[in-house]
Amino acid sequence: MLEAISQNRFAVVAVILFGIGLLNMMLQQNLLKKVIGFSIMDSAVFLLLASLGYIEGHGAPIVEEGNVNASLYINPIPSGLVLTGIVVSISVTAFSLALIQRIYRHYGTIELTELLERAKKEED
């Protein structure tokens, strides 16, 4: 088991980070901390993807002209997928932060329980 862990150390760290992020997102009452948990989850996914594409001893996928030998370079596909992930994560983070700012401007708090109480009071 220890050997399996050390062989897949990046994936193990990614799982731990994912767990930290998910717990943060579900248990924190502060909306800002929820967004931070979301970002940690994103980083875990990026770490996992980037580590899947790496091949030991191979170089960055910038092909030498004329000399094309695929066994010299790492896998370029996960790098492209990480790019997609980063773009989506940035967009979602910015959008949720903007929403939180509007919520704070309207209710004066970003603690979830207080927020619910105030929203309910306003509704009545």
Q: Which residues bind other proteins (CB under 8 A)?
A: 1, 4-5, 7-12, 14-16, 18-19, 22-23, 26-27, 51-56, 58, 60-65, 68, 70-71, 73, 75-80, 83-84, 86-88, 90-92, 94-95, 97-99, 101-102, 105, 113, 116
**113 vs 122 by CB, closer to other proteins:** 113
Least Å distance, CB 70 to other proteins, is 4
Write down the least CB distance from residue 54 to other proteins, Å.
5
**Which two structure tokens, joined as six digits, stand for 90?**
């940035």
Q: E strand or H helix at 47, and its extent?
A: helix 31-53
Q: Kindly state the smallest distance separating residue 31's Cβ from other proteins, in Å.
A: 14
Beta bridge partners of 73: 59
Distance CA 116, CA 122 (A): 10
CB of 8 to other proteins, least distance (A): 5
Residue 104 structure tokens:
């704070």
d(CA 118, CA 108): 9
Nearer to other proteins, 11 or 36 (CB): 11
Mapping DSSP to helix (H, G, I), strand (E, B) and coil, where does residue 30 land?
A: strand
